[in-house]
Amino acid sequence: MPKVVGVRFHGAGKAYHFDPAGLPLKTGDAVIVETSQGVELGIVAEQVFELPEERLPAPLKPVLRQATNDDMDHYDANCQKEREAFRIAADKIASRGLDMRLVSAEYTFDNRKIVFYFTADGRVDFRELVKDLAAIFRTRIELRQIGVRDEARMVGGLGICGRVLCCCSFLTDFVPVSIKMAKEQSLSMNPAKISGACGRLMCCLKYEQDAYEDAHARMPRPGHQVKTAEGLGVVEAINLLKETVTVRLDRGGEADLITLPNAEVEIVGGKPNKKCSGCGGKGKSSAAQPRASAPEV
């Protein structure tokens, strides 16, 4: 199988595969590679490994060389120029009154192109802006519209957990996240509590989703009739994390509520109440709980 090496650009995001060209590369090495956008400097994120041909990108471009001290000095100089280019572009956007938010400016390593990343609510006619910038920088200009998730990855920051945002630290790809995941995990439907810095649903909702789905598949739902060591009863609530079931025995009265491990409960009939995806072990049936509306995210 062909050997490849994973290279990441600008510190975060997806690692792209390149032909190591026989170079002794290790994680953290700076390398110069040929990309579809031109010559770029990247950091080795995945050491050399073998990859089946059917999974190889076509064509597989080679690593040109390991970065030298001169290459690193040139890269640092480009970073300085990017800050100046960002300031100039932001001023031009403001002067033309364009409804767009500039996020980042990036020079290609060979200085043949500057890419300006921006966000906007809709389409923006930036043709005149491109002419202005091309006249100033005397090089090829590209404006690229990105989404709010990509903006958060570029800008960075801290999540409500107090840690660096997942998207700019270790996540390589964005995965689909739905409001159904928050409901199945019995989370608050308050948008402020389940949304990330980008304003979209938090990526971390996906991390434990498989465990919740597995628990749902093995546990009864509120409304199911079950058999226990204490007798027959109806499921009032479930706790997915503890995997316990709260059952109301067929005796009447609040004192007949008991909480048992899921392994000690056997479903014998009844229909599950689909309004409750695990009531969080609060000891209330879903019929007694108001249905929360999904936030707009």
pLDDT tens, residue by residue, 3-22: 888 888 877 777 888 888 88
What phi, psi does 106 have (nearest 5°)? -135, 125
Q: Name the 3-class secondary structure at 167.
A: helix
Whether cis (ω within 30° of 0) applies to the bond prior to 261 is no
Give the residue carrying structure tokens 């056997």: 266
Whether cis (ω within 30° of 0) applies to the bond prior to 59 is yes
Provide CATH 2.30.30.30 ranges for the chain: 217-288
272-284 confidence digits (pLDDT tens):
765 544 444 443 4
- 212 membership: H or E segment, kind and range: helix 209-218
Mean pLDDT over each residue of the chain, to the nearest integer: 83
Q: Name the 3-class secondary structure at 155.
A: helix
pLDDT given for residue 269 in this prediction: 81
pTM of the full predicted structure?
0.72
CA distances from 175 to 66, 204, 296 (A): 33, 10, 18
Cα–Cα distance measured from residue 297 to residue 295, given in angstroms and rounded to the nearest whole number:
6
Tell me the CATH number for domain 217-288: 2.30.30.30
User: Average of pLDDT values for 236-240?
Assistant: 87
152-211 confidence digits (pLDDT tens):
888 888 888 888 888 888 887 788 898 999 988 888 888 888 998 888 999 999 998 998
- For residue 263, pLDDT beyond 50: yes
User: Average of pLDDT values for 111-130?
Assistant: 91
Provide CATH 3.30.300.20 ranges for the chain: 73-146
Length of the chain: 297
- 113 membership: H or E segment, kind and range: strand 113-119
pLDDT given for residue 13 in this prediction: 72
Pairing of β 140-145 and β 113-119: parallel
Helix, strand, coil percentages for the chain (3-state, nearest 5): 30, 30, 40
pLDDT given for residue 98 in this prediction: 93
Q: How is domain 73-146 classified at the CATH fold level?
A: GMP Synthetase; Chain A, domain 3 (3.30.300)
